[in-house]
Amino acid sequence: MSLEHADVKRAAHLARIALGDDEAAHYAADLGRILEMADQLQAVDTEGVAPLAHPLDATQRLRADEVTEGNQRERFQRCAPAVENGLYLVPRVVE
Amino acid sequence: MHDKTLTELAAALDAGEFSSRELTQNLLERIGALDPEINSFISVTGEQALAAADAADAVRAKGNAGPLTGLPLALKDIFCTLGVKTSCGSRMLDSFVSPYDATVVEKLSEAGMVSLGKTNMDEFAMGSSNENSHYGPVKNPWDLNAVPGGSSGGSAAAVAAGLVPAALGTDTGGSIRQPASFCGITGLKPTYGRVSRYGIIAYASSLDQAGPMARSAEDCALLLGAIAGHDLRDSTSVARGVPDYREALGESLSGLKIGLPKEYFGDGLDPQVEAAVRDAVKVYESLGATVREVSLPHTHHAIRAYYVIAPAEASSNLSRYDGVRFGHRCENPTDLIDLYKRSRAEGFGEEVKRRILMGTHTLSEGFFDAYYKKAQQVRRLIRQDFLDAFEDVDVLMGPTSPTPAFDLGANKDPVSMYLQDIYTIAINLAGIPGISIPVGLAGSRPVGLQILAPHFAEPQLLNIAHQFQQATDWHRQQPAFGKENA
């Protein structure tokens, strides 16, 4: 199926990626052709076929709900772009 | 010492021909002299490497050396490495110094291996040519006008150029096997779940798998034994014992049943590649194998299903890069949404954004059933093709890639680039193991044979590759590049 400019802008908003109009037009053309390729899957008869999410059909293993990791706040915050007093800094959310 | 296999280097270290420090220094000098030409490393960690080499030499002096003690390797820059920049080939992670080790990194350093650095790659492992790296393209040591393949292009090029005897890569749709093929080395993608994914930066989690890239199947067996195994920190790793992969390496191939999927020898296959692959199959016949044609009828749907499933998983995995806790952050954000949107727009490259947009679109309301669910159903049919084929034959063989390495800049269009992975991509969807071994040259550029086996049949797969390498010397061929540097 072809992809409208508005579809790309919508996806970009959902994915939280800033996208100019020129870029959106460029991606619309590319994504349209990739979707055209994907659309050929519709020709496959999948009646009664269960979706395969894990190649070994494994199910999620569970473990006891116990704390296994220590607190390493300082170490992890060293990777952050902006922190203060152990908190991550972001623009003001609530006025 | 730069042209030896890991196995040979281990013997030389044991015999005292040189120390791990001397070996490490020699290779660091080669990297310094040659890598500016091919750009296969993003970070070279010389100091840490020499310290690890000294520690390994001390262990050896006490008589406690294991099979990997003091042996050098490189890590694709997708493996989180404590205290070392781990960029995943992206501007997004250009400033990211990992606070922890991936499980495989931990295992290799416990085994005494010496990492020389982190290799170049397509950004977030998305690409087939290594041209999508924030750190620039890698050149193929066999022909500097050619790509090394991708996404583990830096790992493959570094091994081919004799900068390291081995490297780790990851493979989501062919990213170990295709660059191994393009660079004339041996590369194994293990069964899904065989190797822990903990600490490996995620692209498509139901497809990603790490594996060894080296000069021989024997070396791949050695490395796989060190990295495989169950890990409580990766719930998709399989709780299953790890066999001694080198033990099976002596077995005869008499009576081996090889299937050639007819879909892997169709339109678009380069005649020189086909000729080299068919010659390799004849070698197997001379070793006692029988050959028959088989069919994998859903082959042509694999790329279509992959480019729904992988971008969908990527769009979810890459949502973690928000400019808040780690990674790139834009200047002067006006509000939180602006912070997210501009940080991600600036941090990600074009192909990564294309796949995130694709995945976000197909997972969005109204499209999910038509794309994602349909692709997962087709995925089951693709896997069934392989299970059916393995009822009749032991392994499958065919070309790893339809062409030898292509020229830098030759595939500008995303769809034509995606089609490069036609023979490798179904293997990830099915979760089976596959190996690429060098079997010839097309002009100056190597050709790879891909061998595929049932889930967890790595011992047989490695032995089959090893037997070819006992009978031929394609895996010992080296490019002219770097030969004059001893």
Q: Which residues of B touch A47 (CB under 8 A)?
A: none
Check the CA dihedral B371-B171-A16-A4 and report its sign. Answer: negative
Is the residue at A30 inside a domain? Answer: yes
* Tokens encoding B32: 């310094």
Model confidence pLDDT, tens digit, residues B232-242: 999 899 999 99
Is the residue at A85 inside a domain? Answer: no
Residue carrying the six token digits 């199947």: B217
Is the residue at A28 inside a domain? Answer: yes
Determine contact, residues A50/B380, Cβ cutoff 8 Å: yes
What pLDDT, on the 0 to 100 scale, is given for residue B115?
A: 98
Model confidence pLDDT, tens digit, residues B161-174: 999 999 999 999 99
Task: Check pLDDT > 80 for residue B137.
Answer: yes
Residue carrying the six token digits 């600036």: B346
Q: What are the beta bridge partners of residue A88? A: A83
CB pairs under 8 A between A and B: 174
DSSP state of B73: E
Is the residue at A95 inside a domain? Answer: no
Is the residue at A15 inside a domain? Answer: yes
ipTM given for this complex: 0.95
How many Å apart are CA B220 and CA B213, to the nearest integer? 7
Determine contact, residues B123/B132, Cβ cutoff 8 Å: yes
The verdict on A11 touching B (C-beta cutoff 8 Å) is yes
Mind telling me how many Å the CA of B8 is from chain A's nearest CA?
A: 36
> Which of A31, A88, A92 is facing B357, going by the closest CB pair?
A31
3-state class percentages of chain B: helix first, strand second, coil last, to nearest 5: 45, 15, 40
DSSP state of B124: G
Model confidence pLDDT, tens digit, residues B8-19: 999 999 999 999
**Which H or E run contains A31?**
helix A21-39
What pLDDT, on the 0 to 100 scale, is given for residue B323?
A: 96
* Tokens encoding A67: 């704390």
Confidence of residue A61 (pLDDT cuts 50, 70, 90): confident
Task: Check pLDDT > 60 for residue A1.
Answer: no
Residue carrying the six token digits 């499933």: B309
Q: How many CA atoms lie within 13 A of B282 on its CB side?
A: 6
Query: In whole numbers, what is the pLDDT of chain B averaged over residues?
Result: 97
What pLDDT, on the 0 to 100 scale, is given for residue B134?
A: 98
Determine contact, residues B259/B299, Cβ cutoff 8 Å: no
Q: What are the beta bridge partners of residue B451? A: B397, B435
Domains of chain B: 1-486 (3.90.1300.10)
Q: Collapsing DSSP states into helix, strand and coil, what is residue B393?
A: coil
Inspect the interface and report whether the beta carbons of A37 and B339 lie closer than 8 Å: no
Q: What CATH number has the domain bearing residue A20? A: 1.10.20
Q: Residue B183 burial by CB count (10 A; 0-12/13-18/19+): exposed, middle or buried?
A: buried
Q: List all residues of chain B from 45 to 104 with a beta carbon under 8 Å from chain A.
A: 96-97, 99
> Which of B339, B344, B381 is facing A91, going by the closest CB pair?
B339
Task: Check pLDDT > 90 for residue A92.
Answer: no
What pLDDT, on the 0 to 100 scale, is given for residue B486?
A: 64
The per-residue DSSP string of B274-315 comes to: HHHHHHHHHHHHHTT-EEEEE--TTHHHHHHHHHHHHHHHHH
Determine contact, residues B108/B167, Cβ cutoff 8 Å: no
Torsions phi, psi for B35 (to 5 deg): -65, -30
What pLDDT, on the 0 to 100 scale, is given for residue B429?
A: 98
Determine contact, residues B246/B218, Cβ cutoff 8 Å: yes
Distance from the Cα of residue A22 to its chain's centroid: 23
Q: In total, how many domains does chain A have?
A: 1
Distance separating the N- and C-terminal Cα atoms of chain A: 43
Q: Residue B423 burial by CB count (10 A; 0-12/13-18/19+): exposed, middle or buried?
A: buried
Q: Which residues of A touch B191 (CB under 8 A)?
A: 56
How many Å apart are CA B277 and CA B440, to the nearest integer? 8
Q: How many CB atoms lie within 10 A of CB B136?
A: 12
> Which of B374, B381, B415 is facing A33, going by the closest CB pair?
B415
Torsions phi, psi for B96 (to 5 deg): -85, 115
The verdict on A25 touching B (C-beta cutoff 8 Å) is no
Best mutation site among B361, B364, B386, B419 for testing chain A: the one with the most A CBs within 10 Å? B361
Give the domain range for residue A23.
Answer: 5-43
Determine contact, residues B485/B34, Cβ cutoff 8 Å: yes
How many Å apart are CA B273 and CA B278, to the nearest integer? 9
Mind telling me how many Å the CA of A86 is from chain B's nearest CA?
A: 12
Mind telling me how many Å the CA of A24 is from chain B's nearest CA?
A: 10
Mind telling me how many Å the CA of B94 is from chain A's nearest CA?
A: 11
| B185 Cβ contact list (under 8 Å, min separation 6) | B156, B159, B160, B213, B214, B215, B438, B475
> Which of A34, A50, A75 is facing B358, going by the closest CB pair?
A34
Is the residue at A55 inside a domain? Answer: no
H helices within B164-235, ranges in order?
A: 177-183, 217-227
Task: Check pLDDT > 80 for residue A94.
Answer: no
What pLDDT, on the 0 to 100 scale, is given for residue B267?
A: 86
What pLDDT, on the 0 to 100 scale, is given for residue B295?
A: 98
* Tokens encoding A21: 């109009």
Q: Which residues of B touch A44 (CB under 8 A)?
A: 298, 301, 374, 377-378, 381
Determine contact, residues B324/B339, Cβ cutoff 8 Å: yes
Q: Which residues of B touch A37 (CB under 8 A)?
A: 303-304, 307, 415, 418
DSSP state of B406: P
What's the average model confidence in pLDDT over B388-403?
Answer: 98
How many Å apart are CA A76 and CA A88, to the nearest integer? 11
For the stretch B133-137, contacts whose Cβ atoms lie closer than 8 Å and that sit 24 or more positions apart, written own/partner, are B133/B42, B133/B89, B134/B87, B134/B89, B134/B90, B134/B91, B134/B94, B134/B349, B135/B39, B135/B42, B135/B87, B135/B89, B136/B39, B137/B39, B137/B408
* Tokens encoding B108: 């290799």
Is the residue at A61 inside a domain? Answer: no
Inspect the interface and report whether the beta carbons of A41 and B340 lie closer than 8 Å: no
Model confidence pLDDT, tens digit, residues B318-343: 999 999 999 999 999 999 999 999 99
What pLDDT, on the 0 to 100 scale, is given for residue B185?
A: 98
What's the average model confidence in pLDDT over B142-164?
Answer: 98
Q: List all residues of chain B from 205 to 224 with a beta carbon under 8 Å from chain A.
A: 206
Task: Check pLDDT > 70 for residue A86.
Answer: yes
**Chain B, nearest residue to A36 by Cα:** B304
- Out of A71-75, B90-94, B389-393, pick the least confident: A71-75
**Chain B, nearest residue to A37 by Cα:** B304
Is the residue at A18 inside a domain? Answer: yes
What pLDDT, on the 0 to 100 scale, is given for residue A85?
A: 93
Task: Check pLDDT > 60 for residue B451.
Answer: yes
Task: Check pLDDT > 60 for residue B372.
Answer: yes
Residue positions of B annotated with a catalytic role: 76, 151, 175
